Amino acid sequence: MAKGQVAARAARPAETDRDALLARFRAVRDETMALAAHLHPEDMLLQAMEDASPTRWHLAHTSWFFEEFLLQRFEDHFTPFDDQYRYLFNSYYEAVGARWPRMNRGLLSRPRVSEIVRYREAVDQRMDALISTLDAARFAEAAPLIELGLHHEQQHQELICTDIKAAFGLNPVFPVAFPLPGNHPEEPEATTAANERWVSFEGGLHEVGFEGAGFHFDNEGPRHRQYLEDFALHGTPVTNGQFLDFIEDGGYQTASHWLSDGWSWVQAGNIAHPLYWHEIDGAWFEFSLHGLIPLRRDRILSHVNAYEAMAFASWAKARLPREAELEIALRESDPGEGQFLDPGGFVHPHLAGRDKGLGSAFGTVWDWTQSPYTPYPGYQPAEGAIGEYNGKFMSSQLVLKGGSCATPRGHVRASYRNFFPPDARWQFTGIRLARDL
Nearest-angstrom CA–CA distance, 393 and 374: 9
Contacting residue, 95, 103, 129, 140, with a second copy by CB under 8 A: 95
Work out whether 422 is an interface residue with a second copy (CB under 8 A).
yes
Contacting residue, 124, 128, 263, 354, with a second copy by CB under 8 A: 263
Nearest-angstrom CA–CA distance, 273 and 188: 25
HSE at residue 193, side-chain half, CA atoms within 13 A, is: 3
Nearest to residue 370, comparing CAs of 332, 411, 313, 424? 313
Distance of CA 293 to the CA centre of its chain: 23
3-state helix, strand, coil in the chain (%, to 5): 40, 15, 45
Sign (positive or negative) of CA dihedral 204, 207, 209, 210: negative
Work out whether 258 is an interface residue with a second copy (CB under 8 A).
yes
Instruction: Candidates 240-248, 286-294, 338-346, 390-398: pick the segment binding a second copy (CB under 8 A).
Output: 390-398
Instruction: Candidates 16-24, 82-90, 137-145, 189-197: pick the segment binding a second copy (CB under 8 A).
Output: 82-90
Give the number of residues written for the chain.
Answer: 437
CB of 291 to a second copy, least distance (A): 11
| AA letter at 341 | L
Work out whether 224 is an interface residue with a second copy (CB under 8 A).
yes
Number of neighbours of residue 312 by Cβ within 10 angstroms: 24
Nearer to a second copy, 28 or 88 (CB): 88
Nearest-angstrom CA–CA distance, 133 and 121: 18
Nearest-angstrom CA–CA distance, 229 and 110: 55
Work out whether 225 is an interface residue with a second copy (CB under 8 A).
yes
Question: Which phi and psi (to 5°) does residue 103 adopt?
Answer: -70, -10
Work out whether 96 is an interface residue with a second copy (CB under 8 A).
no
Sign (positive or negative) of CA dihedral 270, 271, 277, 281: negative
Work out whether 173 is an interface residue with a second copy (CB under 8 A).
yes
Residues 299-328: x/- map of binding to a second copy (CB under 8 A)?
A: --------x---------------------
Work out whether 253 is an interface residue with a second copy (CB under 8 A).
no
Nearest-angstrom CA–CA distance, 398 and 380: 19
DSSP 4: G
> Strand, helix or coil at 226?
strand
CB of 52 to a second copy, least distance (A): 11
Contacting residue, 79, 110, 193, 268, with a second copy by CB under 8 A: 110
By CB under 8 A, the residues from 350 to 369 that bind a second copy are none
Contacting residue, 7, 113, 123, 330, with a second copy by CB under 8 A: 113
How many residues make contact with a second copy (CB under 8 A)?
A: 63
CB of 222 to a second copy, least distance (A): 10
Q: Which residues here bind a second copy, judged by CB under 8 A?
A: 40-46, 48, 56, 84, 87-88, 92, 94-95, 100, 104, 106-113, 167-168, 170-173, 175, 205, 224-227, 229, 255-256, 258-263, 307, 370-372, 374-375, 377-378, 387-388, 392-396, 422, 436
